[in-house]
Amino acid sequence: MNAYEVNFDGLVGPTHNYSGLSFGNVASTSNSSAASNPKLAAQQGLAKMKALHDLGFKQGVLAPQERPDVAALRRLGFAGTDAEVIARAAKEAPTMLAAATSASSMWTANAATVSPSADTADGRVHFTPANLNNKFHRSIEHPTTRRVLAAMFADETRFAVHEALPAQMHFGDEGAANHTRFCADYGQAGVEFFVFGAAAFDGRYQKPARFPARQTLEASQAVARLHGLAADGVVFAQQDPDIIDAGVFHNDVISVGNREVLFHHQQAFLNQADVLEELSRKLAARGGCFAAIEVPRAEVTVEEAVKSYLFNSQLLSKPGGKMLIVVPEECRNIERVWGYLQKLAASGGPIDEVKVFDLKQSMQNGGGPACLRLRVALNEGELAAVNPRVLMSEALFATLNDWVERHYRDHLAPADLADPQLLQECRAALDELTRILGLGSVYPFQLG
Pick out the residues of the known binding site for substrate. Answer: 19-28, 110, 137-138, 214, 252, 365
371 an active-site residue? yes
250 an active-site residue? yes
Omega prior to 64 cis, within 30 of 0: no
From 53, 371, 382, 407, the catalytic residue = 371
- DSSP secondary structure string for all residues of 58-117: EEEEE----SS-HHHHHHTT--SSHHHHHHHHHHH-HHHHHHHH--GGG-GGGTEEEE-T
Residue 178 carries which side chain, given as an amino acid letter?
N
CB atoms within 10 A of CB 42: 26
From 250, 264, 265, 407, the catalytic residue = 250
Which of 387, 400, 395, 406 shows the shortest CA–CA distance to 433? 400
Distance, in Å, from the CA atom of 369 to the CA atom of 362, rounded to the nearest integer, reads 9
Q: In a 3-state reduction of DSSP, which class is residue 160?
A: strand
Distance, in Å, from the CA atom of 330 to the CA atom of 344, rounded to the nearest integer, reads 17
179 an active-site residue? no
CB 327 within 8 A of CB 356: yes
Name the DSSP class of 89: H
Which of 5, 13, 8, 99 shows the shortest CA–CA distance to 408? 13
Residue 236 carries which side chain, given as an amino acid letter?
F
Which residues are annotated as part of the binding site? 19-28, 110, 137-138, 214, 252, 365
Distance, in Å, from the CA atom of 273 to the CA atom of 266, rounded to the nearest integer, reads 10
List of residues 6+ apart from 140 with CB closer than 8 A = 69, 72, 100
Give the strands of the sheet with 234-238, arranged side by side: 179-182, 191-196, 234-238
Distance, in Å, from the CA atom of 184 to the CA atom of 206, rounded to the nearest integer, reads 33
From 5, 66, 174, 382, the catalytic residue = 174
80-84 long-range contacts, Cβ below 8 Å, gap at least 24? Answer: 82/420, 82/423, 83/420
Annotated active-site positions, please? 174, 250, 371
